[in-house]
A and B are shown apart, each in its own frame.
Chain A
Amino acid sequence: MGYNSRMANLKDKYCIVGVGETEFSKNSKRTTRAMAVEAVRKAILDAGLEASDVDGMLSYQNGDSTFAPFVAPDLGIRLNFYMDVVGGGSSTEALIGLAMGAIEAGMCKTVALFRSMNGYTEFRIGGTGARSAAPVRGPDLAQVPFGMRSAGQNFAPTFMRHMYEYGTTSEQVAHVKAAHSRHAGNNPKAFEKHRVTVQDVINSRWIVKPLHLLDCCLETDNATCLIVTSADRAKDMKQRPAYIMGVAGRVSKPRVDFHWAHGPISRVAGYYAKDIVFGQAGITPDDVDVTGSYDAFTFTTMLQLEEYGFCKKGEGGHYVSSGIIELGGKRPNNTSGGHLCEGYTHGMAMVVENVRQLRGTIDDTCPGAAEGRHTYDYSPGKCRQVKDAEITMNLGWAMPATGSSLIMRRG
């Protein structure tokens, strides 16, 4: 396909040098602007930078948040480049690629990238409240009049067809929630820290078959931020940089509008993205130490891991229930607890977590965590640092037909 020769020249030339987030809550009591300012400020300070060092800003939202021109001035940042895009899940990785492009084009030098959302108190991400009452027109007429509007309702036929074609079971995917809950228990900032079992997931009430309540992610208020800059600048910065090896943004199936029309519907966008991102990075799934497979739902994590080749197509149920994805396993997934347990950030927190994994300074309760000294004791309330994590991969998800991905290595 030529991705190797054409795009690999940006491999390792850009880094994530700062990360920041607000509290994950269901009651932020403040605006998305206030939260964004806090998250961006924290990321700048985390990188050891000053306001004058940042001259680019990107954000994504769905008509539910503030914009870069309101966040930058609050912090005294004068921008040479900014853009606020419409987008939800899978925007993080795509915008990291755009940030690299903006810097490469010489439009700016260092980009802050944020997502701020009152996903519980203002615009319920699950679709209840004001969003459920919006008028129905255009493409929505093909599904919304039939009571199919929320993310879970939109994705459920894909999950159901996977069960039909491959024999995937509710019990298998419930392991994703169980694993992420154990990870969240070792994450002091996680909103939902208590451990749940596979049986807890199966026994929780149905939301939309095949999804139980505990197959669905949280809805929370929060803001998150990443700082992207060139490897040349990153060398002299405060933190050990996370080098970007490859990125694929908003890769789609042939139809996005009515994606059920095309292909086996159990195939998701990662099928098309994997050659791009692995081609750039020059590695295979075997080389990846930690994954961040988007967990809007338990099924989402499973579908993407198999589509990117961490197991054979159709064997995702076995993969996620085998222990591989747990801390202490061969390739832990969403060590923060992810959207199922830490909080819902439209994907950005999963990249934040992997940056910290690569630094070796995961914010767990180990006494020397900030200096990179960890116990690797993954029992409740203890460590969640993956030992010697060298390469991480994020598998971003917007919907079955659209996804993004990112491969990083430690500096």
Chain B
Amino acid sequence: MPQPVTYRGMSLIVPDNDTEWKEFYEHARAHRLVVRTCTACGLMRYPALHACPWCMDLGWSWREVSGKGTIYSYEVVHHAIQPGFKDITPYAVVLVELDEQRGTPTADEGLRIIGNLVRHDFSPEAEDKVAIGKRVQVVFQDLAEHMALPQFILSGEPDQGRVWRLGG
């Protein structure tokens, strides 16, 4: 079993038998964002479910996605719970809808993934830059030889749909 990775005071544990996360992080460490795709119906899912939620098939393979997407929702943490986050408040957690498979298989579904909205040095992006509708791009924060976290930066592309953020 690989050694637990310590990040912001947290112990991140990925046992050898946890193949979904082990391989996901190995790809992430090579700076590839991958998701499982069903070998029967072709639909992708995140995080790595063990069967296809649409056709129940057990077959899957990893597929690399672009890492481009739009902020679907977000929050800004002012009062951190985890001790290791107290020195970086306020920080934004973003729910990103990836470009691949948007509105599929139903209009309300999509490949969505959670990360922090960060600057290039992985410090939190300024709070007033965070908004629903902003375009983002995945970046990888290397934590160990076998692990990197997917994070997101503003890509500067034109906004997607209506842009909105909570004032105050």
Contact = CB atoms under 8 A, between A and B. Distances in A.
B116 A147 contact: yes
Given A141-B12, A157-B93, A170 B79 contact: no
A207 B73 contact: no
Contacts of B106: 263
A205 B90 CA distance: 12
Interface string A360-402: 0000000000000000000000000000000000000000000
B72 to A, nearest CB: 7
Interface string A5-41: 0000000000000000000000000000000000000
Contacts of B80: 147
Interface string B82-119: 11010000110101000000000010111111111000
Contact-residue bracket for chain B: 35 or more
Interface stretch (A72-80, A95-103, A160-168): A160-168
A128 B166 contact: no
Contacts of B47: 139, 141-142, 257-258
B145 to A, nearest CB: 17
Given A135-B4, A135-B13, A208-B79, A160 B18 contact: no
A224 to B, nearest CB: 26
B82 A149 contact: yes
B93 A146 contact: yes
A153 to B, nearest CB: 6
Given A136-B11, A147-B77, A164-B132, A260 B114 contact: yes
B60 interface: no
A283 B82 CA distance: 45
A197 interface: no
Contacts of B93: 143, 146-148, 153, 156-157
Given A141-B21, A153-B77, 17 more contacts: A135-B4, A135-B13, A137-B12, A137-B18, A141-B12, A145-B7, A146-B114, A147-B80, A147-B81, A149-B82, A156-B93, A157-B74, A161-B73, A209-B76, A255-B53, A262-B108, A263-B108
Interface of A: 126-128, 132-133, 135-139, 141-150, 153, 156-158, 160-161, 163-164, 170, 205-210, 213, 254-255, 257-258, 260-265
13 contacts: A136-B12, A137-B14, A138-B21, A147-B81, A147-B91, A148-B77, A150-B81, A160-B166, A164-B164, A206-B76, A209-B75, A261-B109, A262-B109
